[in-house]
C-alpha cells in the first residue's frame, strides 16, 4: 500500500497573491498602530487568559482585533470546545513565520567534513487562517472574568522593592527606581503617582526580563530612549486597566524621547517595541496573580 502526497508547488500566481496579502496585512497593522486608540486596542488584547490567541504575538493579536474579534481560533479548535463555524463564514488571518530545511556540512573538532546535517532556518512569512468567535455557534463559552485589580505595589514588594514618596526633589523628576538599593521613589502624589509608579515598576520588570539588555540600555543613550518608550507604553496600558487615561501624556513623552512632533514617527517607535511591551505588562500581571494565589493559600 502506498500513500500519495500532493506536492505543494508555489506558482507565480500564488506568489503574487501572497505578496498582495502580506501588503494588505501590513497596512492593517500600520493602521492599528497609527490610530489614536492604539493603547485601547493593546489593552483589549494584551491580558493572557484562556484563549488560544494568548500565545500569539501582540502584533498578531492587534491584527486579529483589526479584523473584528478578540477571540479567533482554527476550525478544529472551535470544534474542540463544542462550537462550529457557521456556513459561509470567511476566515480571518494572522501572520506566522515559517522555517525551511537546509543542508549544511557537519564537521568534527578538527574542522573536517564528516557528513551532512539538516537544520531549519527562517524562510519567510505565511498566513494562518482563523475563524472569529462571532462566526461560530454552539456551546456557550465560560470566559474567565478578570478579577478586580488589586494594588500593584504587591508586585514591587515581591521583587524586593520598597516604594517611597519623596517630593523634595527637583520638579522635573516625577520619580525614579533604584535597582541597586531596590527602591521605587515617587515624586508626585495622587492619580498621577499611580502612572509614575507603573512606569517605575515597568522599568523593574524590563530589567527582570532581560538583565543583560537592562544593563546595556542604561549605558547607551539611544537604547535608553527605547527603554523609556517600552516602559511608558507599558505603564499607559497598565494605567488604562486601572481606569486611568494617560494616552496624551504617553504620546508626548515618547515624542520627547525620540525628538519628534510627528505622530507617525511616534507610532513607528511604538510598533517597534510591541513585543517588549507585551512581555513587561504580562510579567507584572502574572506576578500580581502569583501574589494573590500565595495570599489565598496562606
Ligand atoms: Zn523611565
Summarize pLDDT for 91-140 with one digit per residue, the tens: 998 888 777 888 888 888 888 888 888 888 877 777 889 999 999 999 99
Ligand 1 centre to CA of 98 (Å) is 36
Ligand 1 centre to CA of 289 (Å) is 25
Ligand 1 centre to CA of 212 (Å) is 17
Band of residue 147 on the pLDDT scale cut at 50, 70, 90 = low
Ligand 1 centre to CA of 109 (Å) is 47
pLDDT > 70 fraction of the chain, expressed in percent and rounded: 91
The residues near 190 (Cβ < 8 Å, ≥ 6 apart) are none
Ligand 1 centre to CA of 231 (Å) is 7
**Maximum average pLDDT range among 185-189, 190-194, 234-238:** 234-238
Ligand 1 centre to CA of 147 (Å) is 28
Ligand 1 centre to CA of 213 (Å) is 15
Copy the grid coordinates of residue 190. 495622587
Ligand 1 centre to CA of 148 (Å) is 27
Q: Which residue shows C-alpha cell 515624542?
A: 255
Band of residue 202 on the pLDDT scale cut at 50, 70, 90 = very high
* Per-residue confidence (pLDDT) for residue 198, from 0 to 100: 93
Phi first, then psi, for residue 81 (nearest 5°) are: -105, 20
Band of residue 6 on the pLDDT scale cut at 50, 70, 90 = low
What does pTM read for this prediction? 0.76
Ligand 1 centre to CA of 258 (Å) is 14
Ligand 1 centre to CA of 186 (Å) is 12
Task: Give yes or no for residue 266 having a pLDDT over 90.
Answer: no
Tens of pLDDT, residue by residue over 56-97, are 988 899 989 988 899 999 999 999 999 999 999 999 988 887
Ligand 1 centre to CA of 16 (Å) is 44
Total number of residues shown for the chain: 298
* Per-residue confidence (pLDDT) for residue 284, from 0 to 100: 92
Q: 228-255 burial by CB neighbour count: b if 16+ within 10 A, else e?
A: bbbbbbbbbbbbbbeeeebbeebbebbb
Ligand 1 centre to CA of 118 (Å) is 45
The residues near 236 (Cβ < 8 Å, ≥ 6 apart) are 39, 195, 246, 247, 249, 250
In the beta sheet, which residues pair with residue 103?
118
- Overall average pLDDT of the 262-287 stretch: 88
* Per-residue confidence (pLDDT) for residue 138, from 0 to 100: 94
- Mean pLDDT value across the chain: 84
Task: Give yes or no for residue 171 having a pLDDT over 60.
Answer: no
Q: Among 87-96, 167-176, 287-296, name the one with the lowest average pLDDT.
A: 167-176
- Overall average pLDDT of the 180-205 stretch: 86
- Overall average pLDDT of the 15-38 stretch: 77
In the beta sheet, which residues pair with residue 95?
127
Amino acid at each position: 500500500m502506498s500513500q500519495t502526497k500532493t506536492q505543494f508547488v508555489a506558482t507565480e500566481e500564488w506568489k503574487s497573491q501572497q505578496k498582495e496579502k502580506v501588503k494588505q496585512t501590513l497596512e492593517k497593522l500600520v493602521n492599528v498602530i497609527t490610530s489614536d486608540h492604539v493603547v485601547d486596542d493593546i489593552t483589549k488584547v494584551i491580558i493572557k487568559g484562556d484563549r488560544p490567541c494568548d500565545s500569539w504575538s501582540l502584533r498578531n493579536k492587534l491584527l486579529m482585533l483589526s479584523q473584528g474579534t478578540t477571540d479567533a481560533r482554527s476550525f478544529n479548535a472551535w470544534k474542540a470546545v463544542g462550537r462550529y463555524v457557521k456556513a459561509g463564514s470567511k476566515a480571518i488571518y494572522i501572520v506566522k513565520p515559517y522555517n525551511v530545511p537546509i543542508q549544511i556540512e557537519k564537521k568534527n573538532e578538527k574542522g573536517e567534513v564528516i557528513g551532512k546535517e539538516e537544520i531549519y532556518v527562517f524562510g519567510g512569512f505565511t498566513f494562518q487562517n482563523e475563524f472569529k468567535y462571532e462566526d461560530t455557534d454552539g456551546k456557550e463559552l465560560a470566559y474567565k472574568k478578570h478579577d478586580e485589580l488589586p494594588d500593584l505595589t504587591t508586585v514591587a514588594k515581591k521583587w524586593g522593592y520598597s516604594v517611597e514618596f519623596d517630593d523634595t526633589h527637583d520638579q522635573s523628576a516625577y520619580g525614579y527606581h533604584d535597582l541597586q538599593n531596590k527602591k521605587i521613589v515617587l515624586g508626585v502624589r495622587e492619580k498621577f503617582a499611580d502612572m509614575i509608579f507603573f512606569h517605575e515598576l515597568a522599568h523593574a520588570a524590563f530589567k527582570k526580563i532581560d538583565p543583560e539588555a537592562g544593563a546595556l540600555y542604561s549605558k547607551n543613550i539611544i537604547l535608553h530612549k527605547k527603554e523609556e518608550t517600552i516602559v511608558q507604553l507599558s505603564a499607559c496600558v497598565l494605567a488604562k486597566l486601572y481606569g486611568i487615561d494617560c494616552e496624551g501624556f504617553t504620546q508626548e513623552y515618547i515624542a520627547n524621547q525620540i525628538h519628534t512632533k510627528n505622530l507617525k514617527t511616534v507610532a513607528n517607535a511604538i510598533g517597534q517595541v510591541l513585543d517588549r511591551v507585551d512581555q513587561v505588562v504580562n510579567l507584572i500581571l502574572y506576578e500580581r496573580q502569583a501574589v494573590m494565589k500565595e495570599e489565598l493559600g496562606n
